[in-house]
Structures are given as C-alpha cells and as structure tokens.
Chain A
Amino acid sequence: MIKTLKPFEEMTDADYAAIGLKVGLEIHQQLFTRKKLFCRCPAGRYTEIYDAEILRHMRPTLSELGEYDGTALMEFKTKKEIIYQINHETVCTYEMDDTPPFMLDQESLDIALEIAMLLNYQLVSELHISRKQYLDGSIPTGFQRTTIVGVEGWIPYKDRKIGLIQLGLEEDACREVSDVGHLRIYRTDRLGMPLIEMVTQADMHTPAEVADVANILRWTVRSTGKVRTGIGAARQDVNVSVTGGTRVEIKGVSRIPYLPRLIYNEARRQYSLLQIRQELHRRRITEKTFQSSSANVTNLLSRTSWEPLQQALQRQEEIHCVNLKGFAGILSQSTQTDKVFSKEISDRVRVVACLSRLPNITTSESTEETIDSFTWQKIRKHLSAGPEDALVLVWGNKEDVRTGANEISIRAREATIGIPSETRQALIDGTNGFERILPGPDRMYPDTDLPPLEITDQHLNRIRELVPDPFWNRLEKYREWGVPEHLLIAIASSPKAIYFEQLVKRYKIPAVQIARYLFEKTTAWKRAGQPVSKFTENIWDEFFAAADKFSTLLENGDKIITDFLQGDKGSILPLPESHHEIKSDKRKTDRLVKEIIKQICQEKLPAFTTIEKKHHYLMRKIMETLRGRTPGKLVSRLLWEHLKGEINER
C-alpha cells in the first residue's frame, strides 16, 4: 500500500537526487590540551573508578529571548534522577557546578583559532561565552559553555565549496553509564574537556559525499597535530532531510564509515513517514480530525500468557490501551531497514515516559505471538474500536503508564503533520532511534559568569604563523612530487607533514623515498613491534643527510634502520663499513660484476624461459653482495651487457 525506498545497496545518486536528500555535518573534535576548558583539571584522563556520587535534577529555564525550549520541557516531563560518578583526579568542584568557571584555557583557544584559520572561517573579534542548555543531565550545570570562534568558513570538495556555518569551542559532556527508568548515571571524567564543533551547510547530496567531507574535515584538523585521536575523540552528528521532510539530527556517530548507511536509513524513514502522512490524509485523518482514546485494560489481561505482560502484572503494573482511530495498517508500515512505524512510538514511550524495559508496547498489528485474538477482541470492544482502528498496549507503574499512553497519542497525531523535529540516536545496525525533541536557538543563553574576551589582531597574527598548509593543498603538492596515491592522505593529514616537506626541500632525495621511510615503512615497523618511538627528527636528519651524500645508501636503508631500531645506539652514525660506497670507476665495477657473475654461474643455475628472468635472478644474487656499495642501476646495465654478450657468443 505504501512505497518505501530501495535497499541501501541498490540506491544510486539519481535515487537520492529524486528524493532531494540534503545532509549537513557537525563534527565534534577534542583538542589535545593539558587542561580542561574552564577549570584546571587534567584533560584526557579516563577512568571507570570513581570516588563519590552526586545526585541532581534539571529544571527548564527561560531562554534569553524569554521562551522555553521544547527539548527542555520534554526532559522535564521525564523527571529523571541523575547521578554523577566522580573521580578525584579528573573532576573538581567546577564540573560539579559548585564553583564558577575559571578563565577560558588559552591553549584550547589558540588551537581553535588555528583550525578556524585552516578552514577559512571569518573570525570574531570578541568571544562571548554562551550556555547551551542540555536538560538530559549530561552536563551537571544543565548547560554546555560554548563560544563561537568563527563563522562562514569553507572547504573545497570536488568542483565546489562546502560551506561551514560556524566553529564553536566548547566543553565536552559526561559519558552515560546507564539510563534505566527514572535513573540515569553519568561518568564525569570526560566532562569539561575542550572540543571544537564544526558545522557544515546541508551541502551534501548523497551518503557517500557526507563520508568524503567528514574525512576531509577529520584529516584537516588532524594535520595540525593538536587534536586528540582514538575512540570517542571525534564524534559526528548528521542533519538529514529529504524534500518535504524535516531537518533531523542523528547524534553520536563514532566512525565515519557508519555514516552512509545511517543517512540512508534516515532518508528512508522520512520518505516513509511522508508516505504515511499522505495515506492518513487520504483516510481524512489530519491533525485536526485525529482521534484517539485510552483505557486501563489491566483486568482484561489478567490471564495473559505473554511473558512481558505477565511480568508487568507481577510487578503490580497497569496495562493501558490506546485506540488510534483509523490507523489500521499504519503501525506495521516499514520506516527503516527492519523497522516499522510502531518503533517510533515505542521509542517515545521509552524516553518520555521512562518505560525503558523492552518491549514496552505491543500493537494490534504485531506479527509476533503476543496476545491471542480473543483477548484483542475483548479489548477492541472495551475501547469501541473497529477494524479500521489500531490499538497499542503500554504498561508500567501508575504514573508512567499515563505519560506513556499520552505520548503514544502525541506521536500518532504527529504522523498526520509529517516528520517531527527530533534528535535521534545512531544505532549500530545503521538505523536510528528517538533521543529527544530537536532543540532550537531558544536554548542559548549568555553566560553571566565570564566577561567577553577580546581577540586582538596581534593574537591572530601570532596564530597565523603556526597554521599549516591546508590538507587539500598538500594533496596536490605531494601528487606533483610523485608521492604514490596510497600515501597521499596519510601524509597530508599528518602533523609530520611539515617535517616531511622540510626534508624534501633540503635534500636531493626523491620525495617518494622520504615519504616511504617517514610514513609507510615506519608504520610497517611499528606494526611489526619495532620500537619506532626511537625515531626522532635528529635520527632522520642523520639518515637522510647520509643518504643525500651516498646515493646508494637507501638501497640498504631498511637494514640500517632495523639495525638501529634493534641496537642500543642513540644514533644511526657512524654507518658500518659495508654500507660505504665503493668509490670506483666503471671499469673496476665491471670487473667486480663479472667476477661475481662467474662465481654464480659456477653454481648450478635454474633454467630460465626468458633472458629477463635470468637477469632478474642474477641481479638479486649480485646485489646480495653489492647492495649499498654500488648503484643497482649500474650493476643492472653491466649485467645486461654481459648477458647480451653471452647470447652473441652463442
């Protein structure tokens, strides 16, 4: 009856264009600093051990412009108790909102400015700290201190520019430990760490483009060497909409490769929800004509054999039923891969009514074996529901079940309007679930605890000198230098790129060789368990200076370096004698090569099908002796002459 999008694997760019997919990115990147942003606690120390607990609640407050934020009110409706687990080493009274903020960490600000310059942002002249409300308790103050460093930046992508709306500098939030019923527990070690938030325009039109742009941004910020890496150090949010849809924010994507499937599923969800609306309107169900009713049906289910309900009854809970008039068939409509519309309802009930034990609802359209049809009939009769109506059962304690029933009706009515503005949670299977109502600008409030902070031209000039060449310029440059494609990104996004460029400029050695040693080979040695931390710029200076002088040294470079890594010397120098070049003329080398060939040929040689194979075989044998002392090219040429001579002799 209702159309859905094709499976993920079959979607083409044209399909996405047809539904008008628009996606924007928000990337949160932790900065590599010693201290937290607004207090002097150490940054980047994670621990699961805690010393104390503190309990708080959150209340909504008015925005600066005098309005309540929708999210705030929803969170208040959920009435959560929030417990913070505190470790003495990582948290002080500031994070627990018992001490006003200290001045903004200068190191963090400098890094944020540097990245803002790198991403072509327009910089503000005065920072104003704002409070962005979060009533989920993830920050004990109930708000995140945040400030805008720049607006309207851009990065190049394909043949266009991707617009960057703003660059914010803000404090990180707590890590959630658990959220069950009315109790949510947070770990506080990450709280207050400096991070930047980069927000793009909704300029991406396919899931693949989003992953590309996310990567460019990630590689660019990493190229400064001043951001944290590792699990959780960078987190992506995506804003997704389709034509006629709504901007929906999917939060907390920890890895870029997860993005495309998440975006697809959100596009599919929005597409389906629009189809569902159309169908409801066709049935003449609109926001105004929408009807629902609910009743306590606990007694009708006292003998149920379905386990979730049996358990609910054992817990003395109530079971309520909501009748959604005219909704038959809607609840089982597919919305995301392997998910149907009733999941939207279940999510809301879980979050808003705190009924977090799943399943928390079942519907008259469930395909699983839940309640027998006889009981459904009794319930239908009790609620005066006809075959055109859909029923939803919800259970829980007296108060929560009422909130739950109400929320079911609210969510169903929203289906007649379209797609609710929501923040949704990224799930591991590539789908997403409801997290909260999308907050608006009403949750911003000026921070009255800190004065505005002027950013002088002098300050900016000092930072400007530190800004590395942008990632995309580096890519072009290295390509011209002949660096192989597979190393381009690794080098261009590395903080070591600056040093790499210095070496390339200083020595006659081909860039590709330097690139191989600094990046490819170092990575391989590291993987092999070699102590690559012994590599310092000094060591590389010694090595490449020697290689610059003796052009053959690189042929034996691997051995020189592995000897160094395994040895106990603090230097590559002096190079062992075997690595010294034979200072000789062509005649002398010629003689040497011939001697070796003669020796080798005395051994039994395998049969070769071509002369090239014989050359290859003999080259390897000869170079075992001559590697590092005489250029391979010369040996090769001499060997060819020798082999051709052999043929002529025949």
Chain B
Amino acid sequence: MSDNYQGYREPALSVLKENKVSVWSAVEMSTKRGTFKGIILPRSETADNHHVVMKLHNGYNIGINVSVIDQIIETGRKEAHYKIPEKEFPVDPKKPNVKLLGTGGTIASRLDYRTGAVIPAFSPGELYGSVPELADICNLETEKLYGVFSENMAPEQWVGTAQAIGREIEKGIHGIVIGHGTDTMHHTAAILSFMVQKSPVPIVMVGSQRSSDRPSSDAALNLIHAVKTAAESDIAETMVCMFGPTSDQYGLLHRGTRVRKMHSSYRSTFRTIGDIPIAMVDRQKITPLRTDYIHRRNDREVLINTNFEERVSIVYYYPNMQPDIIDSLTDNNYRGIIIAGTGLGHVNKPLYPSLKRAYEKGIAIYMTVQTLWGYVQMYVYETGREIMELGVVPCANMLPEVAYVKLGWALGQSTDLDKVKEIMLTPIAGETTEREPYNGYLIYQGGIPEVEEFLRVIKR
C-alpha cells in the first residue's frame, strides 16, 4: 500500500482514490451531514475501515463515515513534520560522562499515526531539546539499543543490554542510564543485577508512567533524577529510578532485585518490596536511606555473565489448579519452574504427582510467594513439608519475577541441579535478605485518621 494512504483500507481507501485525494490533502468534503473543511490525516490501523479522519483548522480531529461522503475536493496540501527540536548537547569537560542506553519506552516520544499511539524519539539533541536541564548535570551520550515496548523485552535484549553496559564501563563511563518501558522494568533490572556484577558505576533504569508528549509527564523529572544518580551518586548498583510519591517531588532508587511495578498507571508505581529503597533523589541532592550499598569505584572492572536458559516458567498457583499445567511444562522440556504459591508457599495435593514427575525428570522447581511480601516457610504446615519432599526448593523472600530470571540465569551457568541450587540460594545482588525490617512492609490504608492526616498537606 502506498504511503499516500497511510492506514486506510477498503472501502475508505477507494473513496479517497476516486476523489483523487490522499493523506495530507487539504480538502472540502461535501457530505449528507454538511460540508467539512480540513486536512486528511493518516488513519490508525486498529481503527475501523469506513471513516476518513480530518484535522479541522481549529486543530480538532473528526471522522467522517465514507457512506455519507458525496464529494471531496482537494484545495491544497499540508504535511506535518513532527520533529522534536534538535539542539546540540553541550559538552563540558568538567562534567561527568553519562551514557543513556535506549531499549524503548517513552522518555521522549512522538505520535505514531500508524498505531495512533506514541513512539519514542531519541537522540542527545532531541533530549536536550526537550529536557535542557540534563546539560547542567553531565555530558550525555545516547545509544539506541532497541525500540521495543517493554512487554517485548526478552533474553536476547537482556543479553544485548548487559553487553552494552560492559562495553561502556570498559570505556570508562561515569554512569549508565537505561531507558526502558515500565511494565517489565523490574524483570530487566533483576536480570541485569545478575548478568552485570561488580560494576564500578551506577546503572540506573528509568522510564515514565505518563508519556512525554503530555505536559504533566513524569518522564523529564525521572530522567533528570536518573541522570543525576548516574553522574553523581556513590551507589554502584543496578537500580530503578522512578517517582516516589505521585507528586513531582522526588524519585526513589530501588535495588534492582527488590523492586516491583505495583500499579497499572500510578506515577509512584515502583516500590521496594520487603525492604526500604536505597536512596531518595531530587533535583538538588541524593539522600541515601541505607548504608549497605556497593560504593562507586574508579576502575573499569566489571563481570559480565550473560549465559541464560530460556526454558523456565512461572506458575501462579490458584485453587483447583489441575496437574496438567505442570505436566505440560514437563512434557515440553522446560528446565525450570518457579511456583508463586499461596501463603507461606503452598499448592494443592493433586499437583503432587506432577511435581514429583517433573522433579524426577530433572526440572529445577523453586517456591516463591504470591503475597510478594514475606518469606517462603514450608515447615509451618504439613503441606509445605510434603511439597519440599517432592523436590521443590523454597526461595526465601525472593520475588517471583526475580526468581524466574535468576533461575534462567542459574540454569545458564550449570546443568548440575545442585550447583544451580547453590546459585539460587546464595544472594548475589540482594535478591534474598536475611531479615525483613519492620518498615519493609507498609501499605497504608486510606481512611485511617493518621494516614489521612499524612495525606492532607503536602510536605514541601
């Protein structure tokens, strides 16, 4: 299909062709509902096939059903050139160098007519054009590794990203920022914590919950926080840097193995689970909340280990789960299963034979909790003991998604299940902790007077 008819399908396509008009034609359209004047816009591919979209002179868009169109007359053409103003990013030898690796997401974005959604735009010039504050912090270089939505991130991209980080560290970069869609940011943060070890510099993952084509977007502030962290912080870990509260106040630096997206749309969606974040960051300063983080070094040493076994799955247990769920993984030659069990780590009895069969076939099976907070404790109830006897290994307080990527990574290191077990149960980047602090589990309930009091007035 020619680009002149972007997104249009029959019967709308023929109507445009018969009237000798196309996308970006300025037209007068006579219809049974009156005459409309405007510019024909591309049509989203997911929209129906019998409307023509027009932009009116006042900036509004409308759709006209082709069945009411009598005639379209082209009066001119006006093509849109959507471009974020590109300004050369200034270089200051006194400022630290930060590398921004792009995997997708919407740190800077523009409209995609094909899908009607936003797609990322990405270059230092574009970023400087839209977030000039970055130049006050560092010298920024960017590299677009991928342009995928976060649900399409997979081991191939994880490996590529880890290798890119390794290259940058060897070149002596002061800090790394990774732009990423938020949906699976915590999966990527976790796997990078295992694939990239002993980094001398901060590795900061960042994204936005409101795309950057909105005035209220969190993208710019998140990016400022992340770049500041990469450039200036003393924390040489893989972290997620996203809004702390929903207000434009400060970001939180979450350890890559303890962080999780907890709300489908809130700005403050990322929370550290079962512990407290590493630090707070705002435009002025970085405020550590704990002291046990890994400190920045001046060398260029780093351990990159990207071996990964893809045949691993998470099974989210639910009441009345049938054994064929487990059997199908066994029969399809999966090599590892993470169970997100109920309560302290439980599944029902009918699964036992299937689990036993899977274990006997050499599948590594690990237990985590779907409550997210708290430890697996399989001794408390008989069920737990029985399940362990089947070969299922409890994973302490490792988050299910973290256990999933870690098991893939561990199986990538060795085929020996005892060795795999040793890797799984030895913390590498804080994925399990020896103790859960009393303030590691705080989901305040609205309505309670003291919580309402906390919300009432913003602390500025």
Interface residues of A (CB under 8 A from B): 50-66, 68, 72, 81, 83, 88, 93, 96-100, 122-128, 130-135, 140-143, 146-148, 151-152, 165-166, 168, 440-446, 448, 451-452, 454
Task: Report B-chain residues with C-beta under 8 Å of the C-beta of A448.
Answer: 111, 116-118, 211, 213
B400 to chain A, nearest CB (A): 25
* 17 more A-B residue pairs beyond the given contacts A151-B56, A165-B58, with a C-beta to C-beta distance below 8 A: A51-B456, A58-B215, A62-B84, A64-B82, A64-B111, A65-B80, A66-B81, A88-B446, A93-B265, A126-B62, A130-B59, A141-B216, A168-B60, A444-B59, A448-B211, A452-B53, A454-B63
- A133 nearest in chain B by CB position: B215
Asked if A128 and B61 sit within 8 Å, CB to CB, the answer is yes
Contact, CB under 8 Å: A66 / B460: no
- The residues of A that contact B214 with a CB separation of less than 8 Å are 61, 97, 131, 141-143
* Interface contact B64-A125, CB-CB below 8 Å: yes
Most chain B CB atoms below 10 A, which of A148, A165, A452? A452
CA of A454 to CA of B263, assembled, Å: 31
Expressed in whole angstroms, the minimum distance between the Cβ of A438 and any Cβ of chain B is 13
B146 within 8 A of A: no
A452 near B456 with CB under 8 A, answer no
| A519 to B64 Cα, complex, angstroms | 43
B1-49, CB < 8 A from A: 31, 33-36, 44, 46-48
- Are the CB atoms of A93 and B60 closer together than 8 Å? no
Contact B452 A51, beta carbon cutoff 8 Å: yes
Give Cα distance in the complex from A60 to B217, angstroms.
Answer: 10
Which one, A53, A54, A61, A122, contacts B33 given CB within 8 A? A122
- The CA-CA distance from A384 to B277 in the complex, in Å, is 59
Which residue in B35, B209, B248 is a CB contact (below 8 Å) of A57?
Answer: B248
**A99 to chain B: closest residue by CB:** B265
Residues 225-255 of chain B, each 1 if its beta carbon lies under 8 Å from chain A, else 0: 0000000000000000000001111000000
Q: Is the CB of B56 within 8 A of A98?
A: no
Interface 1/0s, chain B 354-369, versus A by CB < 8 A?
0000000000000000
Verify B58–A98 contact, CB threshold 8 A.
no
Q: How far is the CB of B366 from chain A (nearest CB, A)?
A: 35
Q: How far is the CA of A451 from the CA of B249 in the complex (A)?
A: 33
For B212, the chain A residues whose CB sits under 8 A away are 61
Report whether A148 and B62 are in contact in the complex, using a CB–CB cutoff of 8 Å.
yes
Contacts of A63 in B (CB 8 A): 59
Are A54 and B246 in contact, CB atoms less than 8 angstroms apart?
yes
Interface contact A53-B458, CB-CB below 8 Å: yes
Do A66 and B248 touch (CB < 8 A)?
no
Q: What is the CA–CA distance of A62 and B120 in the complex, to the nearest angstrom?
A: 13
A147 to B363, CA, bound (A): 56
Interchain Cβ contacts under 8 Å between A and B, 26 examples: A54-B246, A54-B458, A59-B215, A59-B217, A64-B59, A65-B80, A66-B83, A98-B265, A98-B267, A122-B34, A123-B33, A125-B33, A125-B63, A133-B215, A141-B214, A151-B34, A151-B36, A152-B34, A165-B58, A448-B117, A451-B44, A452-B47, A452-B51, A452-B53, A452-B63, A454-B51
Complex Cα spacing A608 to B199, Å: 116
Complex partner residue of B80 from A66, A132, A444, CB under 8 angstroms = A66
* Shortest distance between the CB of A170 and any CB in chain B (Å): 10
B65 within 8 A of A: yes
Q: Are A122 and B215 neighbours in the complex by a CB distance under 8 Å?
A: no
With a CB–CB cut-off of 8 A, which chain A residues contact B217?
Answer: 59, 61, 142
Q: How far, in whole Å, are A15 and B277 apart by their CA atoms in the complex?
A: 71
Contacts of A60 in B (CB 8 A): 215
Determine the chain A residues whose CB is within 8 A of the CB of B59 once the complex forms.
63-64, 130, 132, 440-444
Q: Are B47 and A451 in contact, CB atoms less than 8 angstroms apart? A: yes
B455, CB-defined interface residue at 8 Å: yes
Shortest Cβ distance from residue A423 to the other chain B in the assembled complex, whole angstroms: 15
A residues less than 8 Å from B318 (CB atoms): none
Nearest neighbor of B457 in chain A, beta-carbon distance = A53
Chain B window 206-223, contacts with chain A (Cβ cutoff 8 Å), 1 for yes, 0 for no: 000111111111001100
Given the complex, which residues of B lie within 8 Å of A65, measured CB to CB? 80-82
Residues in chain A near residue B53, CB distance under 8 A: 126, 128, 452
Interface check B266, CB cutoff 8 A: yes
Q: Are B48 and A454 in contact (CB under 8 A)?
A: yes
Indicate if the CB atoms of A55 and B215 lie closer than 8 Å.
Answer: no
Q: Assess the B215–A135 pair: CB atoms within 8 A.
A: yes
Q: Is the CB of A97 within 8 A of B210?
A: yes
Q: Are the C-beta atoms of A451 and B46 separated by less than 8 Å?
A: yes
CB distance from A215 to the nearest CB of B (A): 25
